[in-house]
């Protein structure tokens, strides 16, 4: 047994199973994958990795299962392993490359069965009488105890909210995860929150609501990530990068590949290196463009070409970022009140209000080099038929 010091959770114990898994190459790669992608261009301290997050998730899973008598020792070990390994399927820069990898390989970051069956991991699991198939199911939340790791309110969310707030320095990560964990239990094979954990669950939802515009969807992060994904897509289309190999890379290697390009990808990564980012030509929410704008998500490149043609510039100078529709799965978490099972948004007026307010955080962006900003902005407003709205300051903007 060894003990390490974590800046978020304090001292964390690592047993023989955890130490063996941590030393596997697949886990060590996570040391070189930034948890928040390119958010360090906004928050200089946001350089924490998937590796330390995975250890934090394992710690919280251990704490939660230790208070539930119905979970067997073998299940606890399986869940500890699953918690440690739950992010080994992430590509470089975490969620920045996830959609690209999924589109080309049809594999999501939690599809890790093949990785678990590799010799380096499978031998360790066999030595501890653990089943790789069960662990893969736990990671996807397909088992009862897997809900601890992947469900509406899970230890994965708890760790990344608190950890991301710590390293970015924002004051919105005030999640009482310790209280929340101690107020969770299984009821009819469902992981539920007891009444004593309602306020802690609300704090998690409020934190996530505030972290979205401030960190996860900060406009500078979105611009940098859009530039990065276009550079990677360019390399794939020009046969300079294999999308199947992309999932095995770390951050440094994918940047090295982009820097070696003498074309569009090389230009974009040089801008990223020097923080000469594209600018916002248009940045609006549903109140200005309506929810029908989501239909353009499937043909963004065509729209970029049309706007570029309207302005008379190269299509590569127009980048459009249309995020998916807002969704907070945590609102569907179950809370047990007076013997009845209620959804969190049914049990809490605070959560129900957040469900409606979350749409206000959604923004689509049209980005371009500084010299084209006015012309591209005018063309984009015309293309998307942007409505003129009265400026209203929201809580997240004050």
Q: What is the pLDDT of residues 341-351, one digit of tens each?
A: 898 888 888 88
Q: Where are the domains of the chain?
A: 278-325+362-398
Sequence-ordered alpha helix ranges (H) in 12-141: 16-22, 25-28, 50-66, 73-85, 98-105, 113-116, 119-127, 132-139
Can you list the residues of the chain whose pLDDT is less than 50?
398
- Which pLDDT belongs to residue 37? 97
Q: Contact 18/80 with Cβ under 8 angstroms?
A: yes
pTM (predicted TM-score): 0.93
pLDDT at residue number 396: 52
Q: Judge contact between 160 and 134, C-beta under 8 A.
A: no
pLDDT at 345: 85
Token readout for 83 is 């918690």
Tens of pLDDT, residues 62-76:
999 999 988 999 999
pLDDT for the residue 301: 95
Decide: 303 and 296 in contact? Cβ < 8 Å. yes
- Rounded to 10°, the helix 264-274/219-237 angle is 150
pLDDT single digits (tens) 115-136: 999 989 999 999 999 999 999 9
């Amino acid at each position: 047994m060894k003990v390490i010091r974590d800046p978020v959770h304090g001292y964390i114990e690592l047993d023989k199973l955890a130490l063996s898994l941590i030393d596997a190459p697949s886990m060590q790669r996570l040391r070189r994958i930034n948890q928040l992608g390119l958010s360090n261009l906004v928050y200089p301290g946001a350089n924490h990795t998937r590796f330390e997050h995975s250890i934090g998730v394992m710690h919280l899973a251990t704490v939660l299962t230790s208070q539930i008598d119905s979970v067997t020792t073998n299940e606890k070990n399986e869940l500890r392993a699953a918690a440690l390994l739950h992010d080994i399927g992430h590509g470089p820069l975490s969620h920045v490359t996830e959609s690209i990898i999924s589109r080309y390989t049809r594999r999501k970051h939690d599809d890790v069965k093949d990785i678990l069956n590799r010799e380096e991991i499978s031998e360790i699991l066999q030595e501890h009488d653990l089943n790789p198939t069960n662990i893969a199911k736990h990671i996807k939340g397909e088992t009862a105890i897997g809900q601890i790791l992947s469900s509406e309110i899970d230890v994965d969310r708890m760790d990344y909210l608190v950890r991301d707030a710590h390293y970015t320095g924002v004051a919105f990560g005030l999640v009482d995860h310790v209280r929340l964990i101690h107020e969770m239990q299984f009821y009819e094979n469902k992981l539920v929150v007891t009444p004593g954990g309602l306020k802690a669950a609300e704090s998690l939802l409020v934190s996530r609501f505030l972290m979205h515009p401030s960190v996860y969807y900060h406009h500078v992060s979105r611009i940098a990530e859009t530039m990065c994904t276009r550079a990677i897509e360019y390399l794939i289309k020009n046969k300079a990068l294999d999308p199947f190999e992309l999932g095995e890379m770390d951050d440094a290697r994918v940047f090295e590949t982009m820097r070696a390009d003498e074309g569009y990808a090389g230009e974009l990564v040089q801008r990223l290196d020097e923080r000469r980012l594209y600018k916002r030509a248009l940045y609006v929410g549903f109140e200005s463009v309506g929810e029908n704008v989501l239909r353009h998500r499937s043909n963004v490149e065509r729209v970029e070409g049309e706007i570029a043609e309207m302005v008379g510039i190269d299509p590569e100078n127009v980048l459009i970022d249309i995020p998916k529709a807002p969704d907070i799965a945590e609102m569907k978490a179950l809370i047990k009140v007076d013997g009845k099972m209620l959804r969190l948004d049914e049990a809490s007026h605070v959560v129900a209000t957040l469900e409606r307010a979350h749409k206000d955080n959604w923004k689509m962006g049209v980005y371009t080099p500084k010299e084209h900003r006015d012309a591209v902005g005018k063309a984009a407003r015309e293309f998307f038929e942007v409505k003129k709205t009265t400026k209203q300051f929201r809580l997240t903007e004050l």
